[in-house]
């Protein structure tokens, strides 16, 4: 009797993450993922109702991966800068995952509005000014990170830090 391999939901998510890192989100479909794993499409649909459900769960899984990356870089004492830096470094180190999370789907803000108090205190400004700075920094950082992820610009971590520091100083004036 042939041995049956059991495919669990977590395994499909892990393999999909690896697939996206290697091939990009634009290459992800049921057949390509199952070929990559070495199984038929049946096990995938035993774990997920359809591809839309899988992609929804996968997006959350990818965002958790991103959040772990971000948590290692962000410092509460310099939240605005380090959150922006982490976003750009993620684009640099994980361009295909960055694109999957932030470029092909609607996404949430890179900076949490609830955390405005961190940098309004740091930069000694009003909440209204902090919101303006927040939006400016978010838009600049996303543009920079997209260029990095798409290899439109090649920069070192030191250059990213300089760009972000210069930009934050200009927006705070």
Residue 35, H or E segment: helix 30-37
How large is the C-alpha radius of gyration of the chain? 19
Domain boundary (64, 85, 119) is at 64
Joined tokens for residue 160? 């990213």
pLDDT in tens, 57-106: 999 999 999 999 999 998 888 888 999 999 999 999 999 999 999 887 65
Q: How many domains does the chain have?
A: 2
pLDDT confidence band for 134 (50 / 70 / 90): confident
What range does the domain containing 112 cover?
A: 73-173
Mean pLDDT to the nearest integer, 121-137: 81
Query: Quick one: 98 and 172 in the same domain?
Result: yes
CA–CA gap between residue 37 and residue 43 (Å, rounded): 11
pLDDT in tens, 138-164: 889 999 999 999 999 999 999 999 999
**Tokens 């400004």 map to which residue?**
125
Q: 126 near 120, Cβ under 8 Å?
A: yes
Query: Quick one: 77 and 37 in the same domain?
Result: no
CATH code of the domain containing 43 = 1.10.10.60
Q: 17 near 65, Cβ under 8 Å?
A: yes
């Amino acid at each position: 009797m042939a041995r049956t391999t059991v495919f669990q939901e977590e395994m499909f998510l892990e393999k999909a993450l690896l697939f996206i890192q290697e091939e990009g989100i634009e290459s992800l479909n049921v057949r390509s993922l199952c070929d990559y794993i070495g199984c038929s499409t049946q096990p995938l649909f035993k774990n997920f109702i359809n591809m839309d459900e899988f992609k929804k769960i996968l997006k959350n899984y990818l965002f958790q991966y991103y959040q772990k990356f971000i948590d290692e870089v962000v410092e509460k004492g310099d939240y605005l800068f380090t959150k922006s830096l982490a976003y750009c470094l993620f684009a640099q180190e994980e361009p295909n995952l960055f694109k999957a999370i932030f470029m092909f789907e609607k996404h949430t803000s890179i900076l949490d509005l609830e955390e405005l108090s961190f940098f309004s205190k740091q930069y000694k400004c009003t909440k209204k000014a902090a919101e303006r700075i927040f939006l400016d920094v978010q838009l600049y950082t996303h543009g920079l990170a997209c260029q990095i992820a798409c290899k439109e610009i090649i920069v070192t971590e030191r250059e990213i830090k300089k760009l972000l520091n210069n930009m934050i100083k200009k927006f705070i004036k």
